[in-house]
Structure 1
Amino acid sequence: MSNPFTQGNYAPVRQEHTCTDLPVIGEIPDHLDGRYLRNGPNPISEIDPDTYNWFMGDGMVHGIRLRDGKAEWYRNRWVRSPVTTRALGEPPRPRNPRAGLDVLGANTNIIGHAGRTLALVEGGATNYELTDELDTVGPCDFDGTLPGGYTAHPKRDPETGELHAVSYFFGRGNTVQYSVIGADGRARRTVDVTVSGSPMMHDFSLTENHVVFYDLPVSFDARQAVEGAVPAWLRRPAQLVVSALIGRVRVPDPITARMASFTPANRSFPYRWNPRYPARIGVMPRSGGARDVRWFDVEPCYVFHPLNAYETETGLVLEIVRHAKVFDADLSGPSEGAPTLDRWTVDFKSGRVREERLDDRQQEFPRVDERLVGKRHRYGYAVGDDTLFKHDMTTGKTETRSFGEGNQVGEFVFEPRTPDAAEDDGVLMGLRYSAAEERSDLLLLDAETLETVAEVQLPDRVPNGFHGNWVPADS
């Protein structure tokens, strides 16, 4: 079977660009002063289609600087992990084992926080600080306050500016870690929470007073972890060693160090669907501890990305993109069934979760107005191949914008026109790939009408990747 994540716009680009004065069709709104940043996998070495998993490609960040109605520059850079540095023939860089396992360049998200640009990844791997121009500064452990890796999906409290997160790593065994990074860029609180095993907890939800854990049936598989990373005659003992190390690894051990010597693109993905693993969500007060978590059963499924969550008089509402199953028959990427937009209503009194379908069309990468993270919202945005969805949670209606056959769009992020503007008074920013032109554009859309405001034309294509954010110049 061919691997779809090695073909078309999933295939890597081979060049780093620095381009200035980019062509623009339309008018860039004057209030946009900052950088649109996007991260995603871009293998630097030859891909083996039989073993490649989309999540394992070396990280490459892309950025477009907007100011005074102009697109000043576009840059794309590999995150300089030891693998990419070696492949590019550059001198070795200092390593920081406390920052996590440096087995691949952070490839999943990119944010601005406390005056820094951070390329993020999960699963105990190293996160990296970048310059404003996207060159790698070095490993990030939040000034030594949060060792052992982080997450690709922190959520910023719109009131305090703090980053809340839930991190997982097989070395933590049957625990995940909730953390709070202050506006100063240092961890001020961590809580270890016991879960059912060693799950891939890709994301979480945050409300004004609670943290929500998605403990779902994709878990660490020692057999998969060593497949392709060690010679065949060593695999069985390596599996036993890795299994014994689960829950006790804090810095690179001999097995993971050996795994790191192989290019990430050709190392097997170490997580897979586990039908024996219970599906449940946990709810913990933000100020609480592990003993305060309440667990609620849900139907087996997987959630990569919640849209948002908020509180009601009787519990919580969680709006999520639900996958019926992932990483079972196909380990190359999340390709087993169409993900849908669902709502889970948690009733604290009955101890149950009511599950309902909001939209059965295939979609992913949901986003809301970041000013409403953890609060009741009206609008949510998601994408499906060539289509942008705008969901109105008040009326139950959905507007769509199709970009036509041969085009693909990635995640769109909302930026309000002013700090106190209405919820859809602003622009949506995201990348569109044109197969006919073999090139990508940054699209700026009117969030109310979904009509194009401006197109920033890029010199090359941006491979299908993961997450992007708008980072204002004053952040």
Structure 2
Amino acid sequence: MSVVVAHAQQSLALPDNQRPVANEMTEVDLVVTGQLPQELDGCFVRVGPNPVDGRRSGHTFVGDGMAHGVRLRGGKAAWYRNRWIRTDRAARVLGELPLPGPRHGLSDNANGNVIQHGGRTLVLGEAGVLPIELDAQLESVARVDFDATLPHGFAAHAQRDPVTGELFAVAYHHELPYVEHLVITPWGRVSHCDRIEVSGPPLMHSLALTDRHSVLFDLPVTFDPVLARAGSRFPYAWSPGRPARIGLLSRIRRGTVPRWFDVDPCFVFHPVNAYEIDDRCVIDVVRHERVFDRDLHTPGESAPTLWRWTLDLTGGAVASEQLDDVPQEFPRIDERRTTMPHRYVYSVAVQTGAGVLGGSALLRHDLVRRAVAVHDFGPYRETGEAVFVPRGPLSAEDDGWLLTFVYDGRLDQSSLVVLDAAAFTGPPVAVVHLPARVPSGFHANWIVS
């Protein structure tokens, strides 16, 4: 794996792909190299910050959002679109009326994630921002509070149970002395809200699910009132000495308090998956030693790596194991395996010293064989989060495709690359050539038509 790290360091010669793009565009009937699978009928969408006035916001998590999407159907790439998310600030700069719907949160930055739930496509953000609904053409429609059932704000990284169809999230907001554990029905209404007492309050980007518990990450990054008074739009920082703990909140006995397990100080943006076997709870995560300490704007001051925590549900002990030492982020699995044992994990080998938004290679971890495969896109190229799309509802865990945007610094353009998950190191099945550059961003997802 040292080869991957060395190559990622070479790729720092890339042109800056975090600079914003200046225009919205629509391009139809895109050129494709190779053959797009007929089974791919949907839209691959990624979001990230893209200041509408062209000026960088400073903090990675802050800034007007933009969605980039490629519509695939019938073995063809029907269109590419990029659209600014119509936050109040973006609408004002663009000379448009503000979106309908309520407001909530410290800032207006719905730019962190895009999901499909309850018949809606939703863009999510940090620190209590309400979701913004997009239509099938990626145009902003309205802010969403789940039909007035949401008590306060929402979260940037929700998890869906593939068996029940429920969506789970942890919403945090600096004015509340607790976080809210939310359960949203498959048709898009909040059915349960549990108040979890915490100190800080902490930054809780995500959670994990088992079939019996929600897994909460109460870690030492907290709201900093000094930063808030100084005008920071995302005033969260590392809190030395604050305990780090993992909480198991019962999904079966509503209204109970979490059972907490102490761990070494660290931070987790992205759990891979969690599951329970007998009296053990296994939690795979990408673990940062610390974030927002020396660098208050970018979570890249320590190298994030793949770890496993195993909780002894009888004795209360926690066993920690590092599964890989290559810096990586944005882990994904076959989401049909959420809450169940999983074999494969796909992640981005991030560029050393260049933050955590992308790198030149994707990794595939086989956790049964304890082997790692590498798909390296080559020098001067940058890939982001890869999304697994199964070939069919009953296909095997590695029978499907990985979709990801890849930026070529020599051409200053991007493409949508489709890989065969079972032939991960082989050439792409198809490459969709885009008319523009897709900047480094956050989360992507496959939106089914």
Same fold, judged at TM 0.5 (above): yes
Say how many residue pairs are matched: 425
* Closer, same or farther: CA 289–112 of 1 in aligned 2, 3 Å: same
The equivalent of 1:79 in structure 2 is 85
Instruction: Specify the code of the residue in structure 2 equivalent to 1:419.
Output: P
Please tell me whether the aligned partners of residues 82 and 102 of structure 1 are also in contact (alpha carbons under 8 angstroms).
no
Following superposition, the deviation at residue 269 of structure 1 comes to 2.7
SS of 1:83's partner is: helix
1:455 paired residue among 426, 431, 435 = 431
SS of 2:264's partner is: coil
2:336 paired residue among 355, 371, 391 = 371
The equivalent of 1:353 in structure 2 is 318
Instruction: Specify the code of the residue in structure 1 equivalent to 2:89.
Output: V
1:417-471 alpha-carbon deviations (Å, 9 max, x no partner): 1110010000001111110010111110000111310011111111111101111
* Closer, same or farther: CA 92–417 of 1 in aligned 2, 3 Å: closer
Instruction: Specify the code of the residue in structure 1 equivalent to 2:132.
Output: Y
Please tell me whether the aligned partners of residues 280 and 298 of structure 1 are also in contact (alpha carbons under 8 angstroms).
yes
2:159 paired residue among 155, 161, 180 = 155
State how 1:252-271 maps to structure 2 within 5 Å: 267-271=232-236
Please tell me whether the aligned partners of residues 49 and 65 of structure 2 are also in contact (alpha carbons under 8 angstroms).
yes
Q: Percent identity?
A: 48
* Closer, same or farther: CA 102–350 of 1 in aligned 2, 3 Å: closer
TM-score normalised by length of structure 2:
0.92
* Closer, same or farther: CA 268–102 of 1 in aligned 2, 3 Å: closer
The equivalent of 1:440 in structure 2 is 414
* Closer, same or farther: CA 147–14 of 1 in aligned 2, 3 Å: farther
1:280 paired to 2:256:
no
* Closer, same or farther: CA 136–128 of 1 in aligned 2, 3 Å: same
1:10 paired to 2:18:
yes
1:388 paired to 2:353:
no
Please tell me whether the aligned partners of residues 311 and 318 of structure 2 are also in contact (alpha carbons under 8 angstroms).
yes
* Whole-angstrom distance in 1 between the partners of 2:435 and 2:195: 45
* Closer, same or farther: CA 472–62 of 1 in aligned 2, 3 Å: same
SS of 2:340's partner is: coil
The equivalent of 1:257 in structure 2 is none
Please tell me whether the aligned partners of residues 109 and 126 of structure 2 are also in contact (alpha carbons under 8 angstroms).
no
2:59 paired residue among 39, 53, 64 = 53
Please tell me whether the aligned partners of residues 83 and 103 of structure 1 are also in contact (alpha carbons under 8 angstroms).
no
TM-score normalised by length of structure 1:
0.87
1:184 paired residue among 182, 187, 203 = 187
Instruction: Specify the code of the residue in structure 2 equivalent to 1:116.
Output: R
Following superposition, the deviation at residue 203 of structure 1 comes to 0.8
Please tell me whether the aligned partners of residues 444 and 455 of structure 1 are also in contact (alpha carbons under 8 angstroms).
yes
1:70 paired residue among 58, 76, 80 = 76
State how 1:400-439 maps to structure 2 within 5 Å: 400-439=374-413
Greater share of residues in helix? 1
* Whole-angstrom distance in 2 between the partners of 1:148 and 1:39: 23
State how 1:50-129 maps to structure 2 within 5 Å: 52-97=58-103, 100-101=104-105, 103-129=107-133
1:216 paired to 2:229:
no
1:170 paired residue among 151, 171, 174 = 174
SS of 1:272's partner is: strand
* Closer, same or farther: CA 117–102 of 1 in aligned 2, 3 Å: farther
* Whole-angstrom distance in 1 between the partners of 2:226 and 2:55: 21
* Whole-angstrom distance in 1 between the partners of 2:229 and 2:121: 33
The equivalent of 1:255 in structure 2 is none
The equivalent of 1:200 in structure 2 is 203
Which ranges of 4 or more aligned residues in structure 1 deviate by more than 4 Å?
none
* Closer, same or farther: CA 214–290 of 1 in aligned 2, 3 Å: farther
Following superposition, the deviation at residue 335 of structure 1 comes to 1.4
2:51 paired residue among 43, 52, 56 = 43
The equivalent of 1:225 in structure 2 is 228
Please tell me whether the aligned partners of residues 439 and 459 of structure 1 are also in contact (alpha carbons under 8 angstroms).
yes
SS of 1:56's partner is: coil
The more displaced of 289-298 and 28-37 is 289-298
State how 1:231-250 maps to structure 2 within 5 Å: none
Following superposition, the deviation at residue 113 of structure 1 comes to 1.3
Instruction: Specify the code of the residue in structure 2 equivalent to 1:45.
Output: D
Please tell me whether the aligned partners of residues 99 and 141 of structure 2 are also in contact (alpha carbons under 8 angstroms).
no
Q: Which runs of 5+ in 2 are unaligned?
A: 1-11, 350-358
Please tell me whether the aligned partners of residues 38 and 110 of structure 1 are also in contact (alpha carbons under 8 angstroms).
yes
1:32 paired residue among 33, 40, 44 = 40
* Closer, same or farther: CA 337–296 of 1 in aligned 2, 3 Å: same
1:213-271 alpha-carbon deviations (Å, 9 max, x no partner): 100000000111232x3xxxxxxxxxxxxxxxxxxxxxxxxxxxxxxxxxxxxx44310
Following superposition, the deviation at residue 289 of structure 1 comes to 4.3
